[in-house]
């Protein structure tokens, strides 16, 4: 039997009052942890990807598609039979002009894509590298004789740098453009 103060009569088992879990120290700590988790989760959700997390799937998908289209165009340019110059040498100018045109299209495709959050500068660098590569191949298409070779080599080097940079953002197909 209990008395009015919540105690026990002589000889009875102790009786405890019903105490809410959230009025105890472990309950308060649990409630605070749950509240902090909810607030941080909401902030992360509202803020979005800060560029350090997983890649932006839409950007990766579209970038890969653009790079695959260009890789196919460049492959077609490579497999097209080269015309011969009047001296009987291969005329590389048409192939290099096709490279330049395909890369110009890649630059335009990337300009149309919204950059992943926090990666605008990196995407801008990719576009600039590919623009430079296009310029090198265009210069090679006008160069005579062996004068085309330094332009082509520079064009491929810059093209590969842009592809590696795009791959670092998840667009791995861009690594295979060259």
Pick the more confident residue, 163 or 38.
163
DSSP helix, strand, coil percent of the chain (3-state; round to 5) = 70, 0, 30
The two three-digit tokens of residue 11, written as one number: 């000889």
Q: What is the mean pLDDT of the chain?
A: 78
pLDDT at residue 49, rounded to an integer: 45
- Global model pTM greater than 0.85: no
Residue-range domain boundaries for the chain: 1-47, 57-176
* Distance separating alpha carbons of residues 178 and 97, to the nearest angstrom: 15
* Distance separating alpha carbons of residues 53 and 94, to the nearest angstrom: 43
pLDDT in tens, 134-143: 998 888 888 8
Distances (CA, A) of 173 to 110, 150, 164: 14, 26, 10
Pick the more confident residue, 40 or 94.
94
* Lowest mean pLDDT, pick from 50-54, 61-65, 80-84, 133-137: 50-54
The two three-digit tokens of residue 52, written as one number: 């350090």
Q: What is the mean pLDDT of residues 45-69?
A: 73
pLDDT at residue 78, rounded to an integer: 74
* Distance separating alpha carbons of residues 28 and 164, to the nearest angstrom: 51
């Amino acid at each position: 039997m209990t008395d009015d103060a919540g105690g026990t009569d002589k000889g009875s088992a102790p009786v405890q009052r019903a105490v809410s879990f959230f009025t105890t120290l472990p309950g308060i700590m649990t409630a605070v942890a749950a509240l902090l988790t909810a607030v941080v989760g909401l902030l992360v959700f509202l803020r979005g990807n800060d560029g350090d997390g997983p890649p932006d799937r839409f950007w990766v998908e579209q970038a890969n598609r653009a790079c695959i289209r260009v890789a196919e165009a460049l492959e077609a340019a490579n497999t097209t039979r080269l015309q011969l110059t009047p001296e009987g040498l291969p005329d590389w100018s048409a192939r290099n002009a096709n490279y330049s045109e395909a890369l110009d299209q890649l630059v335009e495709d990337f300009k149309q894509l919204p950059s992943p959050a926090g990666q605008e500068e990196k995407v801008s660098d990719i576009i600039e590298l590919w623009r430079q590569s296009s310029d090198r191949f265009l210069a090679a298409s006008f160069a005579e004789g062996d004068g085309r070779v330094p332009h082509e080599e520079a064009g491929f080097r810059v093209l590969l740098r842009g592809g590696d940079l795009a791959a670092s953002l998840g667009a791995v197909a861009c690594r295979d453009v060259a």
